[in-house]
Structure 1
Amino acid sequence: MVRIYDTRAGQVEEIAAGRALRLYTCGLETARRAHVGDLRIFLVSDLIRRALERRRVRVVAARDAVHDEDAFRADAAALNLRPAEHVPEAGEPIEELGSRIDLCVGGAVPREDVRGRWVHAEGVRFAGDAPLLSDVADAGLDPLAVRMAFLESHYRQPVELTWDTLRAADGRVRRWRAGVAEWSESVSAPMATAYAERAESAFDDDLDTPAALRVLDELEGDASVAPGAKFETFLHLDSLLGLDLSSDIGKIRT
């Protein structure tokens, strides 16, 4: 079962599997383009969706309209955020035509028109002006370094982002991709089940992404695990992480 902290209830609660779930993301309400800090709430929603879908829960996702839809869609694609099926117009009640919202991811104060569970993600602080996601790419970093940097902190803890933390996250993403590409050339082997189960369990336990990443760090350095098994396990878990860890496979390394 996936367990998540319900801000309204003040406790971690189980989300029942085996049924459809309506997920709503209440995000940007400002008349400007999203900077990297604004995107955290959408990543949290994406992680919840991935964890539930792994449990075969049918997730119907919706989100608020934003000021610049084209720019937001580009940013969302760059961060590997799965697109919402529904984007109601600004100001439109999100629970019209009898469609109850089961889980809403948003700011600190629950919306009055949401009667289901409420998940709150803490904010992001950046030294100086927070960059746009395009600024991260212009600095020579993979946009998914932002995703990694957010995964490195629990969603209920505030994040202190700096260019140094983004560069470190970028290095971790690139190192894992290089490892996956190298392991892909080895003899195939069954997935390292114990590692996979530990990482999945961390995800299911209120999205403990830092713990899941530590499991992968441990697996990366475990010489007793065959390279082919590492390859299978990293790719399996990337369906939750969304870091495009297979993207270097087949590339010529120098």
Structure 2
Amino acid sequence: MLSIADTRTGRLVEIPSANRHLLRISVHVPVIDTGITPAYLRAPLVGDVLARTAELHGLQALTLLTAPELPQERVQALERAMAALGIHPPAAVGAYDQQEALGSPADVHVLAHGTDTDAADGARIDVGRVSTEPADEGAQPLLEERGPEGADPLAVRMLLLGHDHRTPVEATRAALAEAWQELRQWRRLVSSWAQEPSRPIPADLLKQAHAALADNLGVPAVLDMLRSVVGRADMPAGAKFETFAHLDRVLGLDLAREVGRPHPEVS
């Protein structure tokens, strides 16, 4: 069972209802006046994680991105930014009649901070705000921050996933650098573990992870679980690899990127 806390009532509701196997998601973003920042991408990211979680639980998902008053060039810029963050492309982007575009009323509305909807159907998820630092003159935008190995927008995804989707996030360069360092370490660990014989994911760990995701998208709890897996001496490397690879189906962090590449020894 996949449950979401409905902002309207504060209660957990099962989605999709009536034992259906298709989850219809409507993501609402505000009018974009300037460049694409993490503030515009958090709601699409939450919608992406919701769709991935549904698929992990054997459901199909259909996502519509509602972006009113958005000219085509900004739609294209938004699509490029979403792709950079590993967000699966929605079925449609723009100002659409919800029911006509989805084929039925939405099961869930995901609303970016500062947006609203008059739709009465489905559960409602209000996503917390994202604040960013003013850009220094000549500095790279947050979505193009560079580390020693080049640009990696998935560090922004890592940063946002580390917070409950309802809470505010400060997307500072220091926070982004910390997320990028952990992401890089995890990829190198996954690459190292991939060289060992495969082992099954411990059943209790798998059950705990799926339960956390099904309970109002508990992604931060899943990230904490993976941090504990890194340090477990009693868990074979092959099982660690399978655990990270399996949960990356929802996290979307491209954790197996370094598999097969030369890398320094990691512990």
> What is the TM-score with the length of structure 2 in the denominator?
0.87
Amino acid across the alignment from 1:118 = R
Alignment match, 1:153: 163
- Give, in angstroms, the shift of residue 138 of structure 1: 8.1
- 1:201 maps to which of 169, 188, 211: 211
- 1:180 maps to which of 172, 181, 190: 190
For residues 86-111 of structure 1, the C-alpha deviation after alignment (integer angstroms, 9 at most, x for no partner) is 224x3x43234862112110146641
Alignment match, 2:42: 40
- Give, in angstroms, the shift of residue 70 of structure 1: 2.1
Alignment match, 1:77: 83
Runs of 5+ unmatched residues, structure 2: none
- 8 Å CA contact 2:37, 2:143 repeated in 1: no
- Give, in angstroms, the shift of residue 34 of structure 1: 1.6
Question: Structure 1 pair 70/35, CA: closer, same or farther in 2 (3 Å)?
Answer: same
Alignment match, 2:62: 60
- Tell me how far apart the structure 2 counterparts of residues 69 and 137 of structure 1 sit (CA, whole Å): 25
- Tell me how far apart the structure 1 counterparts of residues 203 and 256 of structure 2 sit (CA, whole Å): 19
Corresponding residue SS for 2:53: helix
Alignment match, 2:260: 250
Greater mean alpha carbon deviation, residues 212-221 or residues 22-31: 22-31
- Tell me how far apart the structure 2 counterparts of residues 121 and 233 of structure 1 sit (CA, whole Å): 28
Alignment match, 1:6: 6
Amino acid across the alignment from 1:93 = D
Aligned residues: 252
- 8 Å CA contact 2:15, 2:107 repeated in 1: no
- 8 Å CA contact 2:40, 2:112 repeated in 1: no
- Tell me how far apart the structure 2 counterparts of residues 71 and 225 of structure 1 sit (CA, whole Å): 43
Corresponding residue SS for 1:95: helix
- 8 Å CA contact 1:195, 1:219 repeated in 2: no
- Percent same amino acid at aligned positions? 33
- Tell me how far apart the structure 1 counterparts of residues 112 and 187 of structure 2 sit (CA, whole Å): 33
- Give, in angstroms, the shift of residue 30 of structure 1: 2.5
Runs of 5+ unmatched residues, structure 1: none
- 1:102 maps to which of 98, 107, 125: 107
RMSD of equivalent CA atoms: 2.2
- 8 Å CA contact 2:51, 2:62 repeated in 1: no
Amino acid across the alignment from 2:233 = A
Greater mean alpha carbon deviation, residues 101-110 or residues 220-229: 101-110
Greater mean alpha carbon deviation, residues 133-142 or residues 189-198: 133-142
Question: Structure 1 pair 34/22, CA: closer, same or farther in 2 (3 Å)?
Answer: same
- Tell me how far apart the structure 1 counterparts of residues 161 and 246 of structure 2 sit (CA, whole Å): 17
- Tell me how far apart the structure 1 counterparts of residues 3 and 47 of structure 2 sit (CA, whole Å): 14
Corresponding residue SS for 1:77: helix
Question: Structure 1 pair 30/74, CA: closer, same or farther in 2 (3 Å)?
Answer: closer
For residues 36-56 of structure 1, the C-alpha deviation after alignment (integer angstroms, 9 at most, x for no partner) is 221111111111111111112
- 1:121 maps to which of 127, 141, 156: 127
Amino acid across the alignment from 2:99 = E
